[in-house]
Chains A and B, each alone.
Chain A
Amino acid sequence: MFQYLLKRLCLAIPVLFGVSIVVFGIVRFIPGDPAQIMAGQAATQEAVRDIREALGLDRPVPVQYAYFLGGAVRGDLGKSIYNGAPVREELGQRFPRTLRLALSGILVSCLVGIPVGILSAVRHSTWIDSSAMIFALVGVSMPLFWLGLNLILIFAVRLQWLPAIGYETPQHLILPAITLGLGSAALVARMTRSAMLEVLRQDYVRTARAKGAAERRVVNYHALRNALIPVVTVVGLQLGNLLSGAVLTESVFAWPGVGRLLVEGVLTRDYPIIQGSILLVATSFVVLNLAVDLLYAFLDPRIRYE
C-alpha cells in the first residue's frame, strides 16, 4: 500500500512537469501582449517596451521557462504581471475559498444525487423514476449562471433570506453551493441509478433477499456499497471539475476564488497567474485521482494495491 502510494506520487512528477511545459507554451501562443494590455490604449510604444523589460518578457522564451521552473521547484511561482502580487500568496488566499465552494457543491450533489439515484433505481420504471430522471436531465442542461442569477433573484432580492454576493459567512455559501451542486447532482443521480440497477440484478442481492433481509438493508447495505464504486469515480472527477470549473459560479457570486483568478489572468495575459492556477488545478486532479483510487479499497475489499 505504502509502496503503491510512493509509486503514484513519483509518477505525478513527470505529469506536472509535462503540464508546466504545455501551459507555459500555450499561454505564450495566445495572441495579445500583457505589457500592452497593462499599459492601456493610451500608452506609447516606449511605455509598453518599458513594461515588457521590467517584467522580463523581452527575454527568450526558453530562458523565461528556465526561470519559471527554477522558481516553481522552490515553491516560488513568480509574481502577477498585472498587479505584482506573488502568485503563491494569491493562490494561497484563493484556493481555500474555492475548495470550500467545491466541497459544499459536492456535498449538495451527493446529498441530492445519491438518494435520488437510489430511489429511481428501486422504483425502476415508475413515475418516481421518470420524474427523477427528468430532474437529472434538467439539472445537467441548466446553465450555471442562469441558475445562479435566478437563485439570487428569489432568495436574495425577493425573499431577502440570503446574501446575493460575497464569501464571508456560511450563509454566503448556500446559494453558490446549490448552484454548483445541482448540475453535478444530476450526473451523480444518473450514475447511481444505473449502477444500482445493475447491482440489484446480481445473484448476491437475490440471495440476500432470499435469506429474508429487509429490503431497506438489501438496498442500503448489500447493493449500495458495490454500486458506489462508479459513483465515487464520478464524484471524484466532479470535485476536480468544480475546483477548476467554478469560474461561472465564482463570477456570479463575486466569490474571489481560483476560477475567477484564472479567467482574469487569461483576459490580462497574466502568464504567471495562468501558469500557477493551472499547475494548482493539475495537482489537485492528481491528488484527487489518487484519493479516488485509494477509496476503492475501502469500498470493495477485493481491490488490493501492489
Chain B
Amino acid sequence: MPRRFAPILLVALLIATMGLPQQGQAQAPAGGTLIIGRGADSVTLSFYATAAPDSEVLAHIAETLFRLTPDGKIVPNLAEAAQLSNDGRQVTVRLRRGIQFHDGTPFNAEAVKWNLDFFRNPDNRITYRFLVSEVTDVAVVDPFTVRLTLARPFVPLIAHFTHDFMAMHSPTAMQRAGLRPPLGEPYGRSPVGTGPYRFKEWIRGDRVVLERNPNYWGAEKPTLEQIVWRSIPDDGARTLALESGQIHVAVRVPPRETTRLALNRALRVDRTSSLRTIYMAFHAQKRPYTDPRVRQAFNYAVNKRAIVQTILGGAGRVSDAPITPGIVGYSPIMTYQYDVAKAKSLLAEAGFPNGLNLTIHHPTGRYVQDAQIAAAVQAQLREAGINARLATMEWGTYLQFTGRGPEQSEVELFMLGWGTVTGDADYGLYSLFHSSQWQPAGNSRFFYKNPQVDTLLEQARSITDPGRRTATYKQAMDIIMKDAPWLFLHSESQVTGMRREVSGLIVHPTERILAYNAKLGPAR
C-alpha cells in the first residue's frame, strides 16, 4: 500500500490544485484582441503612476489636455486651445465639448478643475506634482473654459499637460473609490477616463485588459475589441512567445535577436528612436573632474559610434546634444570625435601626463546593454591612459547610491539615462543642468554649475516665441557641450517585434506603445 500511496497522493494533490478557479482565458482569440508582451506589470493606473508600464496603459484609458505627437509636436487633445496672457502669468484653456467619461460623468471645466486641484494639492502627495508646481490657482470661467494662474511665466506648462500622469480622470469615479497615497489605491486599480479604451480587468503580475469604448468621441474610432498587456519578464521568452504567435507585439527585443527575427516572414522589427539620452556623468564638484579639460579628455577617448554599432547593433544614435531630436527646443550642437591623442594631450595639459585612476559606477539591466557599454568605455579609456575600475549595482541600490548630496556622494563617473518625457527641453535641461536642481533638492546627481547656463535656462522658461526659445536653449547647450559635465554617449532606440497582421501601432519616442489606432488583419 505505502508504495502506491505516494504517487497517488501526488496526483490527487495535483488534480486538486488544477481544480482551483482559473483566471483569464486560455489563448485569447486573435482577430479582435491585440496582445502586447512587456517586461513589467503596471503598478497604479492613476495620478500616482511613476513609470512607463503605467503610462502606456493609461494613455489608452485616460486622455491628456494636450498630446505630444511622435514627431514632437504638441497638439490639442481634450483641450481645444490654450492662450497665454501678455504677462505670461495666466493660461486660458478652452475645452472640447460633448465628451463623457466612461462612467457617464460629463467632461467639462469643473472636471478639469477637480483633476488639477487634486494633482496640485501637496496633501495628496503625488510624486509628479512638480509638473504643475508653478500653477497657483485654477478657476472655472465657463462650463468649457478654465483659467490657470501661474507664480511666474512658465511656457513648458503646455508640454507638461501632455504627460500621461496628468491625464483627466472621472471625478465621480475618483471620489467614489477614493485615492490613497502613495499609490492612489483603490481607484488606481480600475481607472475611468475618456479614452478610446475602457478598463476591464487587471490580474496582478500577469495581465491588464482593456476593452473598446464604443462611445469614443474622437474622429478615429477604436477597432480592436480588446488590448491585453501581458507581463513576460524574460527577454528571450517574450521574443519566443512572439514567434509562436501567442502575442502580437514584443516590447524591448534584445539587440542580439533582431537579425534572427528579421528573417522570420511572419514578423516585423520596428526601431524607433527614444527621447532617452544615455550618458555618464562626472561629479563636477570633485577634483580632478572640476577641470573641463579632464572631462573633455574622457569625451575624446571614447568611440561612441563603435559602441552604438557593435554593442547596440545600430539601435541607437550618437548624442550631439544633451537632449534628443523630437524634443521642443532641440538643436544639434556637436559630437566629440574619437581622438585618443587629443585626449592624452588634454590630460597632460590638466596635469595628468601619466593618466589617472577612477571608478565608474553603472547599473545593470536598467538600460539596453548597460553593463556591456560600461565595459567598452573602460577598455577605450585605457588607451588614453585612464585606468577605470567598474562597479556594478542593481538599480534599487544604484538610485540610492547616486542620489546623495554633493558632499556625501562617492561617485566619480557614473552611468544614467534621462527620458525627456514631456517632449520639452525644459524637462531635459533645467532638471539636470540648473544649479538649483542638485540632489537632494532636485535631480542633478552630478552637481554641475555654470551661472550662464542657469540664466539661459531660466530665461527660456518664459520665452513664448518658439524661435527665440530654441535659440536660447541652443546657447545653453553650446556651453554645456563645451563644459562637458557628461561623457556624452547616445540615445537608445526602442526595438519592438511585431507580427505582420498588426498595423497602425505607434511606437512613441516617449517609450510607450500606443495601440488605439491599431488593427489586426491578414498578414501584410
The listed residue (A47, A83, A165) touching B125 by CB distance below 8 A is A47
Give residues 208-233 of B contacting A (CB, 8 Å): 230-233
Are B240's CB and A149's CB within 8 A?
Answer: yes
- Tell whether B206 is near chain A: CB-to-CB under 8 Å: yes
- Tell whether B522 is near chain A: CB-to-CB under 8 Å: no
Give residues 144-198 of A contacting B (CB, 8 Å): 145, 148-149, 152-153, 156-157, 160, 163-170
Are A106's CB and B10's CB within 8 A?
Answer: yes
- Tell whether B175 is near chain A: CB-to-CB under 8 Å: no
Are B395's CB and A31's CB within 8 A?
Answer: no
- Tell whether A39 is near chain B: CB-to-CB under 8 Å: yes
- Tell whether A54 is near chain B: CB-to-CB under 8 Å: yes
Q: Least Cβ distance of A176 to chain B in Å? A: 11
- Tell whether B496 is near chain A: CB-to-CB under 8 Å: no
Interface string of A58-83 (1 = CB under 8 A from B): 00000000000000000000000011
Contacts of A34 in B (CB 8 A): 396
- Tell whether B104 is near chain A: CB-to-CB under 8 Å: no
Contacts of A224 in B (CB 8 A): 3
What class of interface size applies to chain A in its complex with B? 35 or more
Task: Report the Cα distance A145→B127, complex, angstroms.
Answer: 37
Are A41's CB and B399's CB within 8 A?
Answer: yes
- Tell whether A215 is near chain B: CB-to-CB under 8 Å: no
Are A32's CB and B396's CB within 8 A?
Answer: yes
The listed residue (A39, A110, A153, A298) touching B2 by CB distance below 8 A is A298
The listed residue (A39, A100, A260) touching B50 by CB distance below 8 A is A39
- Tell whether B26 is near chain A: CB-to-CB under 8 Å: yes
The listed residue (A31, A93, A166, A267) touching B400 by CB distance below 8 A is A31
The listed residue (B3, B205, B403) touching A94 by CB distance below 8 A is B205
Contacts of A84 in B (CB 8 A): 44, 183, 185, 188
Among the stretches A8-16, A132-140, A249-257, A274-282, the one at the interface with B is A249-257
- Tell whether A238 is near chain B: CB-to-CB under 8 Å: no
Are B24's CB and A254's CB within 8 A?
Answer: no
Task: Report the Cα distance A151→B102, complex, angstroms.
Answer: 43
Residue on A nearest B27 in the bound complex, by CB: A163
Are B394's CB and A267's CB within 8 A?
Answer: yes
Task: Report the Cα distance A35→B5, complex, angstroms.
Answer: 50
Interface string of A22-48 (1 = CB under 8 A from B): 000000001111111111111111010
Give residues 3-28 of B contacting A (CB, 8 Å): 3, 5-7, 10-11, 13-14, 17-18, 20, 22-27
Interface string of B439-453 (1 = CB under 8 A from A): 111110000000000
Are B2's CB and A225's CB within 8 A?
Answer: yes
Are B18's CB and A260's CB within 8 A?
Answer: no
Task: Report the Cα distance A32→B6, complex, angstroms.
Answer: 45
Are B11's CB and A107's CB within 8 A?
Answer: yes
Which has the most chain A C-beta neighbours within 10 Å: B5, B24, B50, B182?
B182
Contacts of A85 in B (CB 8 A): 204
Known: A41-B399, A83-B43. A169 touches B7 (CB 8 A): no
- Tell whether B86 is near chain A: CB-to-CB under 8 Å: no
Interface string of B226-249 (1 = CB under 8 A from A): 000011111011001101111100
- Tell whether B357 is near chain A: CB-to-CB under 8 Å: no
Are B18's CB and A251's CB within 8 A?
Answer: no
Are B400's CB and A32's CB within 8 A?
Answer: yes
Residue on A nearest B437 in the bound complex, by CB: A44
- Tell whether A293 is near chain B: CB-to-CB under 8 Å: no
Are A45's CB and B439's CB within 8 A?
Answer: yes
Known: A50-B125, A168-B26, A252-B234. A44 touches B130 (CB 8 A): yes
Contacts of A252 in B (CB 8 A): 234, 236-237
Known: A47-B125, A107-B14. A260 touches B439 (CB 8 A): no
- Tell whether A268 is near chain B: CB-to-CB under 8 Å: yes
Are B246's CB and A232's CB within 8 A?
Answer: no
Contacts of B22 in A (CB 8 A): 168-169
Are B10's CB and A165's CB within 8 A?
Answer: no
Contacts of A104 in B (CB 8 A): 14
Contacts of A122 in B (CB 8 A): none
- Tell whether A269 is near chain B: CB-to-CB under 8 Å: yes
Q: Least Cβ distance of B284 to chain A in Å? A: 19
- Tell whether B504 is near chain A: CB-to-CB under 8 Å: no
- Tell whether B397 is near chain A: CB-to-CB under 8 Å: yes
Known: A153-B240, A164-B246, A168-B26. A103 touches B127 (CB 8 A): no
Q: Least Cβ distance of A106 to chain B in Å? A: 6
Known: A36-B403, A107-B11, A165-B241. A50 touches B181 (CB 8 A): yes
Are A164's CB and B204's CB within 8 A?
Answer: no
Are A100's CB and B182's CB within 8 A?
Answer: no
- Tell whether B523 is near chain A: CB-to-CB under 8 Å: no
- Tell whether B58 is near chain A: CB-to-CB under 8 Å: no
Contacts of A260 in B (CB 8 A): 205, 233
Interface string of B169-190 (1 = CB under 8 A from A): 0000000000011110100100
Task: Report the Cα distance A225→B5, complex, angstroms.
Answer: 12
- Tell whether A299 is near chain B: CB-to-CB under 8 Å: yes
- Tell whether A18 is near chain B: CB-to-CB under 8 Å: no
- Tell whether A142 is near chain B: CB-to-CB under 8 Å: no
The listed residue (B3, B24, B44) touching A225 by CB distance below 8 A is B3
Q: Least Cβ distance of B60 to chain A in Å? A: 20
Task: Report the Cα distance A39→B50, complex, angstroms.
Answer: 6
Contacts of B244 in A (CB 8 A): 152, 156-157, 160, 163-164
Known: A44-B130, A103-B17, A166-B246. A83 touches B44 (CB 8 A): yes
Task: Report the Cα distance A115→B441, complex, angstroms.
Answer: 66
Task: Report the Cα distance A170→B3, complex, angstroms.
Answer: 27
Which has the most chain A C-beta neighbours within 10 Å: B127, B181, B243, B401?
B127
Are B399's CB and A32's CB within 8 A?
Answer: yes
- Tell whether B51 is near chain A: CB-to-CB under 8 Å: yes
Are B182's CB and A55's CB within 8 A?
Answer: yes
Are B241's CB and A32's CB within 8 A?
Answer: no
Contacts of A168 in B (CB 8 A): 22-26
Task: Report the Cα distance A90→B41, complex, angstroms.
Answer: 14
Q: Least Cβ distance of A107 to chain B in Å? A: 6
Give residues 404-460 of B contacting A (CB, 8 Å): 416, 418, 431, 439-443
Residue on B nearest A111 in the bound complex, by CB: B7
Are B240's CB and A254's CB within 8 A?
Answer: no
The listed residue (A32, A54, A163) touching B181 by CB distance below 8 A is A54
Are B14's CB and A96's CB within 8 A?
Answer: no
Q: Least Cβ distance of B8 to chain A in Å? A: 11
Contacts of B26 in A (CB 8 A): 166, 168-169
6 further A-B pairs in the complex, CB-CB below 8 A; given A84-B185, A252-B234: A30-B397, A54-B180, A160-B244, A165-B232, A165-B241, A298-B2
Among all A-B residue pairs, the 4 with the closest Cβ atoms: A32-B396, A298-B2, A256-B205, A50-B125
Between A and B, 20 residue pairs with Cβ closer than 8 Å are A30-B397, A36-B399, A41-B416, A42-B443, A45-B441, A47-B129, A47-B130, A83-B44, A107-B11, A145-B234, A160-B244, A164-B240, A164-B241, A164-B244, A165-B230, A166-B26, A170-B18, A253-B237, A254-B230, A267-B394
